[in-house]
């Protein structure tokens, strides 16, 4: 069986420590969300001729959880829309991101009810998480011999240049769940969010 594998690890973050500047919000969102989305959509047609079991794995973050207690959207209606597969759409995700970026440009983002920690990074990863769920739903209608399974995961606070080498997890340990998802024998798992090889809530 031929299995095509796509791993999305596009990620930038310009905030260190307690800093929460959104000075680079456009670049963060363009790389983390739009980069992941555009590459995924470009690759899917190339994966179509493959046998069943092709996989897409996106590196995301628990900072982008919809229902995190400390770092979530304040707008309950928007949280519900993004969390409900019946109302979730690419247009809704893009509109949410665009609204944030517009408020950054206007200087009004601090009162917009956005995540409180690493705001631009968190929102970009929230968008990745939502897009993962949306694509899993879209791809679920494909014939069995053309299935593509898509999931995302949080590697944790990894000791890399992006975290200023302040992380508490090695790059090898941070990659573990991604490798595990890439090689997961149970191919039917799709549209899920994982950390430390365990499913976590969006």
**Out of 33, 121, 149, 153, which one is annotated catalytic?**
121
Active-site residue flag, 121: yes
Q: How far apart are CA 21 and CA 68, in angstroms?
A: 21
Residues in Cβ contact with 3 at an 8 Å cutoff, skipping those fewer than 6 apart: 50, 51, 53, 54, 55
Backbone angles phi, psi at 195, to 5 degrees: -150, 135
Residues in Cβ contact with 46 at an 8 Å cutoff, skipping those fewer than 6 apart: 4
Active site residues: 121
């Amino acid at each position: 069986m031929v299995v095509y594998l796509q791993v999305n690890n596009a990620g930038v973050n310009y905030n260190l420590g307690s800093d929460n500047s959104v000075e680079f919000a456009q670049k963060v969102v363009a790389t983390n969300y739009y980069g992941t989305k555009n590459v995924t959509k470009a690759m899917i047609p190339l994966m179509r001729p493959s046998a069943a079991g092709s996989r897409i794995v996106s590196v995301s973050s628990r900072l982008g959880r919809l229902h995190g207690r400390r770092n979530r959207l304040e707008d309950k209606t928007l949280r519900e829309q993004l969390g409900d597969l019946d109302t979730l759409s690419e247009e809704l995700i893009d509109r949410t991101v665009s609204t944030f970026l517009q408020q950054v440009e206007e200087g009004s983002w601090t009162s917009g009810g956005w995540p409180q920690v690493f705001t631009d990074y968190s929102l970009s990863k929230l968008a990745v998480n939502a897009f993962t769920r949306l694509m899993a739903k879209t791809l679920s209608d494909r014939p069995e011999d053309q299935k593509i399974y898509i999931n995302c995961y949080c590697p944790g606070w990894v000791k890399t240049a992006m975290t200023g080498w302040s992380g508490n997890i090695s790059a090898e340990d941070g990659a573990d769940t991604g490798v595990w998802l890439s090689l997961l024998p149970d191919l039917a798992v799709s549209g899920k969010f994982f950390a430390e090889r365990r499913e976590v809530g969006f």
